[in-house]
């Protein structure tokens, strides 16, 4: 396997990782992702590597809630490079039913759906199950520089309330 193919494969593997939210130095927020796989060896002899990825902020239009999210992939090379994401041309072909509209204008992100509520406790300490929003998708479609760009922008945190 060539070095370029191995790097591309490593990048692809790293995109599917679970993340731990942690504050970065200074005012910016970042997400730290860890990976263990036989095809990934970022530090010789290490069992896992770390990639720091910026947490972006946006707003849910209907509630005004702040959203923290990561931008992992984009269908446009220039847009992907601007955010340190992977260019995934195939995102442009995602079915309209699988994609939400969003607005990215003057550096500000506006969304229209949240993922729903996560598991939480009621007043008696009982666990309530998650309540998902069937209209939410991490895939967003925006207009940018005269182009339609599809991005994978999964939410990490939304709103201030529990759940």
CA dist 160 and 34 (Å) reads 26
Residues 28 and 90 in one domain: no
Residues 111 and 132 in one domain: yes
DSSP class per residue in 28-86: -EEEEEEE--TT--SSTT-S-EEEEEEPEEEEETTT--EEEE---EESSHHHHHHHTPE
Q: Output the CA–CA distances (angstroms, integers) from residue 119 to 112, 137, 143, in the order listed.
A: 22, 19, 34
* Confidence (pTM): 0.68
Residue 141: predicted pLDDT: 98
* pLDDT surpassing 70 at residue 14: no
Instruction: Identify which of 115, 99, 95 has the alpha carbon closest to the alpha carbon of residue 155.
Output: 115
Residues 41 and 74 in one domain: no
Residues 43 and 113 in one domain: no
Residues 91 and 108 in one domain: yes
Instruction: Identify which of 23, 118, 104, 31 has the alpha carbon closest to the alpha carbon of residue 70.
Output: 31
Q: What is the pLDDT of residues 23-78, one digit of tens each?
A: 334 455 544 444 443 344 455 666 666 667 789 999 999 989 999 999 999 999 99
Residues 49 and 60 in one domain: no
* pLDDT surpassing 50 at residue 126: yes
Residues 125 and 114 in one domain: yes
Return the ∠ at Cα 71 (arms to 150 and 58), rounded to 5°.
95
Q: Which of 30, 54, 78 is the last residue of a domain?
A: 54
Domain of residue 61, residue span: 56-163
Strand partners, 20: 32
Residues 33 and 91 in one domain: no
> Considering its fold, how many domains does the chain have in total?
2
Read off the pLDDT band of 162 (50, 70, 90). Answer: low
CA dist 15 and 141 (Å) reads 19
Residue 146: predicted pLDDT: 95
Residue 119: predicted pLDDT: 84
CA dist 42 and 26 (Å) reads 26
Residues 163 and 111 in one domain: yes
Residue 64: predicted pLDDT: 93
Residues 124 and 150 in one domain: yes
Residues 61 and 133 in one domain: yes
CA dist 116 and 140 (Å) reads 17
Mean pLDDT across the chain: 77
Residues 12 and 47 in one domain: yes
């Amino acid at each position: 396997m060539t070095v370029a193919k191995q790097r591309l494969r490593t990048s692809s593997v790293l995109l599917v990782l679970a993340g731990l939210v942690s504050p970065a130095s200074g005012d910016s927020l970042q997400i730290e992702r860890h990976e263990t796989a036989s095809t990934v060896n970022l530090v010789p002899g290490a069992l896992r590597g770390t990639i720091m990825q910026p947490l972006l902020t946006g707003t849910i239009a209907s509630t005004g809630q702040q959203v923290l999210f990561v931008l992992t992939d984009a269908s446009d090379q220039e847009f992907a490079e601007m955010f340190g994401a992977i260019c995934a041309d195939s995102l442009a072909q995602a079915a309209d039913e699988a994609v939400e509209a969003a607005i990215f204008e003057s550096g500000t992100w506006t969304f229209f759906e949240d993922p729903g509520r996560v598991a939480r406790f009621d007043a008696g300490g009982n666990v309530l199950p998650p309540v998902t929003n069937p209209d939410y998708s991490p895939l967003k479609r925006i207009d940018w520089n005269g182009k339609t760009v599809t991005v994978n922008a999964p939410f990490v945190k939304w709103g201030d309330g529990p759940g």
